[in-house]
A and B are shown apart, each in its own frame.
Chain A
């Protein structure tokens, strides 16, 4: 069950202003942005909060084989759980090759989203990322 709401931001991370006030996001948007920010940040790379981040940046230059992909999956899973962002939600992670040096990281989140404006209903969210072994970065796929 998830009902926390945040300041609304665009996909680029810019703050959204509505009639001169900061806009309020929906709970699902809030969860999505938070998980997104965590996965795109290197562990201990965010200065105000040292124990934050789940980006698999340390796998740069490694071979795109099943062992590495499994390690990346375990890495992301471990750090996501550590952040406590998905408390009360079930999630699954899949890592599949999409090119010689690229893999897709697919995160599925199943949780009951409570929105103040709508009735509560279980919801499945799927977030996909692309990881490039050449530069060690994770990119959100729209």
Chain B
């Protein structure tokens, strides 16, 4: 238990009481010699007590902070997460260039590629993504996903469908982001790091599940982890990653593979499993009250679409997608919406009757990235 700090006042009270009770010196007011001697000694004692209290607090995991917590972490081979800039790959299916109607990408661009260095912007926050490689596509393609990175000196969170301006200067070529973008420059807090060290202290006993969990908990796009032993045979384990939102980035999966290969014991095989992503497309028809103007309707529709995306992103394996929840999310967007109805439902590329759907234990819903607008709210 950390040693409690004793103040100058506490030392003084003890010293003076002792002097008065046990010595002939009974002039202990400020200005007396006896008081001056205790003042000098107890100033030093209080300072030493402060140092001792701090030093003793810094050796315990539940009270250590900052640099001292970093030192404790280093005993278990883990370090505080440093802020990283946002990166996405084409495989993440987030940044999408597309065309509408009967046009093709080649038809509007005149070439079969999106060049490296193309910028994509969010008009409201000013955030800019830059493509990081040349992306080729076929003559008949109507959409393509690209790799990009965000360079910003401040932390930004951008919602889906908001990166809509690009630098290619072709009006018929559209761009969007299918999921939200989180660019965090905040260093890991003491609380979170302390939690990981606590797990690591258990994990240090060997290649057990705590060690695997503590190694994976640091990634921001992973909500939770499900470890299942023996699924791929004896001496193996499968790690199911539950994403924050709709998908886990490929960079995260590659990093986890590196971590697990060093965490797992000799002769132990592991598999990193993502859940089966079930593409979903939904159309919801809304009615507004008569007094609502057109520009307000448009912004309300955008917010409603974002709320439905969030609802779908929050569903976990085994959860149910209830149509009433979708309707309720849309109606609760704003008082100007008087009614809402799901009029089209397409699951796994198949049109379905409008009904509630339950996910299997290894499934997750994602908005269908092959569609221009998989979550559509309209009048």
Q: Which residues of A are at the interface with B, using a C-beta cutoff of 8 A?
A: 3-9, 13, 15, 24-25, 30-31, 33-35, 37-38, 41, 46-49, 52, 83-85
B43 on interface, CB distance cutoff 8 Å: yes
**Number of A-B residue pairs having CB atoms within 8 Å of each other in the complex:** 63
Contact of A6 among B8, B25, B30, B42 (CB under 8 A): B25
8 contacts between A and B (CB under 8 A): A5-B25, A33-B31, A34-B27, A34-B31, A35-B31, A48-B30, A48-B43, A52-B30
Contact of B25 among A24, A41, A46 (CB under 8 A): A24
Q: 8 Å CB contacts to A: which residues of B29-73?
A: 29-34, 36-37, 39-40, 42-43
B37 nearest CB neighbor, chain A only: A7
Given the contacts A7-B37, A24-B25, A47 and B30 also touching, CB distance less than 8 Å = no
Given the contacts A7-B37, A48-B43, A38 and B31 also touching, CB distance less than 8 Å = yes
Are A48 and B33 in touch, CB under 8 angstroms? no
Closest 5 CB pairs of A and B: A4-B27, A48-B39, A6-B27, A7-B33, A34-B31
B232 on interface, CB distance cutoff 8 Å: no
Given the contacts A15-B33, A85-B31, A5 and B24 also touching, CB distance less than 8 Å = yes
Mark interface residues in B275-290 (1 if CB within 8 Å of A CB, else 0): 0000000000000000
The interface size of chain B toward A, counting residues with CB under 8 Å, comes to: 18
Are B30 and A33 in touch, CB under 8 angstroms? no
Contact of A83 among B31, B36, B37, B42 (CB under 8 A): B31
Q: Which residues of A contact B8 (CB under 8 A)?
A: 48
Are B29 and A33 in touch, CB under 8 angstroms? no
A4 nearest CB neighbor, chain B only: B27
B204 on interface, CB distance cutoff 8 Å: no
Q: Which residues of B contact A4 (CB under 8 A)?
A: 26-27, 29, 32
A24 nearest CB neighbor, chain B only: B24
B26 nearest CB neighbor, chain A only: A4
Are B29 and A47 in touch, CB under 8 angstroms? no
Q: 8 Å CB contacts to A: which residues of B1-38?
A: 8, 12, 24-27, 29-34, 36-37
A49 nearest CB neighbor, chain B only: B30
